[in-house]
A = this chain, B = another copy of it.
Amino acid sequence: MSWQDALNAQVRNGRNACRALARAGTEQKNCFLSALGERLRQMTPDILKANAADVAAARRRNISPALIDRLILSAPRIEAMVRAVSEIRVLEDPVGRVLWETVRPNGLRIRKVSVPIGLIAIIYESRPDVTVEAASLCLKAGNAVLLRGGKEASRTNRILAEALKRSLEDASLPADGASLVLAGGRRAVRHLLTREGEIDLVIPRGGESLISTVTRLSRIPVIKHYKGVCHTYVDRAADIGMALAVSFNAKVQRPATCNATETLLVHQEIAGAFLPRMAEKFREAGVRMKGCPAARRLIPEAEEATEADWSTEYLDLVINIRVVPDIDAAIDHITRYGTRHSEAIISQDKNAAAQFLRDVDAACVFHNASTRFTDGGQFGLGAEIGISTDKIHARGPMGLNELTIYKYVAYGNGQVRS
């Protein structure tokens, strides 16, 4: 059998699993998740062994340490996976919610009810924990899932996919509801992306180039989780103590995340009082600073920020600082360089805050709080499959509800249209 035939069969089997998954009740899906947690624990030695082989092979191929770090599993990391599965289990079932209901003058009763999307393909890189987390979320929302992970993690993913399949069987659900795409190498991704009508949604998880390649090649709808070039704007009416604490947190607390702030915008009237103190805190934390000329006059050690810097997602202890003449200039800067992810204003002026929250086009906008809060858990939405930077279907933290769509169910007694 050619790799294309193998892949087509896998897609078809996933598609065929959709009906049983769509009608599975909450208990049955939770039973799968319980089984999965247990199996992951039981299979820990096998998982670690496969992972060690993946890591050794990656080292032989001189793969970057950052990538190897994302690839490595340990007993505590597997325990964290089990916890994540258990957290998904207790989340409310997103299927079957009545979103809207009406009775028409002709007596037709129409309900808009949430249903699974269908077959979802997750295309990701080396992190094997994505295999378990993404599949658990998709399956809890009643979807079938095709998992196309990185080659580096293939041994680990094979064992994890086996745990998924066996756990589905434990819950009397079709094992084809989750399957790992192994055939075809790089060409497999390209081939998958042409199976419109069979695969309903593609979610790429990984770096910018992966996402952009998938977007370019796909005929299937894609939801993108692009980079976060996030800003914190310190308004002239900011409380300086709050501005220092929130800006520091937004940059330093966990700089490698997409919701960390990359650029600080400061109103010119507060720059003199605020920036030297801010710079001192950043300096102590080892944050490298890059600034516009006005910022550099107040922070002598700041380097000159280049045009490219304003668009850079550092994911590191580096920050751009720009002094702006007013709030409009701050919003214009964000409109130009931001990635519509997470943006914050620090101000005691309610009108300024209202203008910022209204006019900044981003998934999440914050008044007097850190951009770091953009997160399904922090929002109380539970686990998330990513943070969408798209503007259709889902925006911001994408949780279980966003892994469903709806259908209209109409109940009549012989109505015809005249």
List residues of chain A with CB under 8 Å of any chain B CB: 18-19, 22-23, 102, 104, 108, 110, 115, 117-118, 196, 200-201, 215-216, 219, 221-223, 239, 242, 245-246, 248-250, 253-254, 335, 357-359, 361-370, 372-374, 378-380, 390-393, 395-397, 405-418
Contact = CB atoms under 8 A, between A and B. Distances in A.
Contacts of A418: 253
B408 A363 contact: yes
A365 B407 contact: yes
A31 B148 CA distance: 51
Contact of A407 (B104, B363, B370, B390): B363
B380 A102 contact: yes
A215 B197 CA distance: 12
A152 to B, nearest CB: 28
B395 A392 contact: no
Contact of A415 (B19, B364, B370, B405): B370
Given A395-B405, A407-B364, A408-B396, A414 B23 contact: no
A313 to B, nearest CB: 15
B104 A22 contact: no
Given A379-B408, A408-B363, A368 B18 contact: no
Given A363-B408, A408-B396, A415 B117 contact: no
A410 B201 CA distance: 29
A38 B108 CA distance: 36
B108 A416 contact: no
Contacts of A223: 392
Nearest to A364: B408
- A200, A222, A412 interface centre (most CB from chain B within 10 Å): A412
A407 B396 contact: yes
Contacts of A117: 391-392
A405 to B, nearest CB: 5
A373 B406 CA distance: 17
A195 B88 CA distance: 37
Nearest to A105: B380
Contact of A417 (B118, B373, B391): B373
B108 A391 contact: no
B253 A373 contact: no
A412 B366 contact: yes
A14 B175 CA distance: 48
